[in-house]
Amino acid sequence: MISALLIGLTRFLVGGTGQWVGCAPSSRQRIYFANHSSHLDTIILWAAMPPDLRRRTRPVAAADYWGKGAVNRYIAVNILNAVLIERNARGSDPLEPLRDALAAGDSLIIFPEGTRAFERLPGAFKPGLYHLAKAFPEAELVPVYLDNLRRALPKGSFLPVPISCVARFGCPLQLEASETKPAFLERARAAVVQMA
């Protein structure tokens, strides 16, 4: 009910349609990785998926934003079924909850830049994606470019404006056996840029 309301409001205000350019929706285990420019990114990507995939595709969200405040926390945990991570965790491994989710068979949505960017194209990726790709070689890595979100709700603004946003899904990639970490992360970034 509330999730239908959230989808309806999202569609009315910012569209949020999915364009499957490089692959079709599939129930295979996947790690979707996308550029990050807005708090709406998670909801848009989630809304762009077919309803049956939404339940098993869990967005990864920063606990310092989505875990705070009753509304944010309710949306993140109860509706989006998000995996909350500590960005500045000391001592414990921040990727631990992600590995648990993947081991349970869920798909993930991650934003490898780690923080929202102001520019059109994504910045350098953090190594988390590499570690997950290495630990779960059977999961497909799907690049996604989220278009127009930096205009609909740019960093520093609180009110989304009605500009239609699109999630463009690219060709899945795999970590090559001999590939180094920087080479893989750059290739993954380029795959997102290609969908821009």
Partner 1 sequence: MTLPTIDPTMQLLFGGVLALLLLASAVGFALARRVTTENGRETVRNLNARIKAWWVMVGVFALAFIFGKGVTIVLFALISFYCLREFLTLTPTHPTDHRPVAAAFYLFLPLQYWLVWIDWQSMLTILIPVYAFLLLPVLAVLKGETDDFLARTARIQWALMLTVFCISHAPALLLLELPGDHQPIFLLFFLITVVQLSDVLQYVAGKLFGRRKIAPNVSPSKTVEGFVGGSLAATGVGAALWWITPFTPLEAAAMAAAIVLAGFLGGLVLSAVKRSLGAKDWGVMIEGHGGALDRMDSVTFAAPLFFHLVNYFFAQ
Binding mask 3-22 for partner 1 (x = CB under 8 A): ------------x-------
Which of residues 157 and 180 has its CB atom nearest to partner 1 in the complex?
157
Amino acid at 72: N
Which of residues 50 and 127 has its CB atom nearest to partner 1 in the complex?
50
Number of residues that bind partner 1 (CB under 8 A): 13
Stretch of 43-51, 122-130, 162-170, 178-186 contacting partner 1, by CB under 8 A = 162-170
Please tell me the total number of residues recorded for the chain in this structure: 196
Residue 154, interface with partner 1 (CB under 8 A)?
yes
DSSP 170: -
DSSP code per residue over 27-67: SS-EEEEE----TTHHHHHHHTS-HHHHTTEEEEEEHHHHT
Which of residues 91 and 156 has its CB atom nearest to partner 1 in the complex?
156
Binding mask 102-131 for partner 1 (x = CB under 8 A): ----------------x-------------
> E strand or H helix at 6, and its extent?
helix 2-14
Q: Report CA 54 to chain centroid distance, whole Å.
A: 12
Instruction: Give the whole-angstrom CA distance, residue 126 versus residue 142.
Output: 16
Which tokens hold the place of 118? 């102001």
Q: Report CA 125 to chain centroid distance, whole Å.
A: 13
Least distance to partner 1, CB of residue 63, Å: 26
Residues of this chain that interact with partner 1 (CB under 8 A) are 15, 118, 148, 150-151, 154-155, 157, 159, 161-164
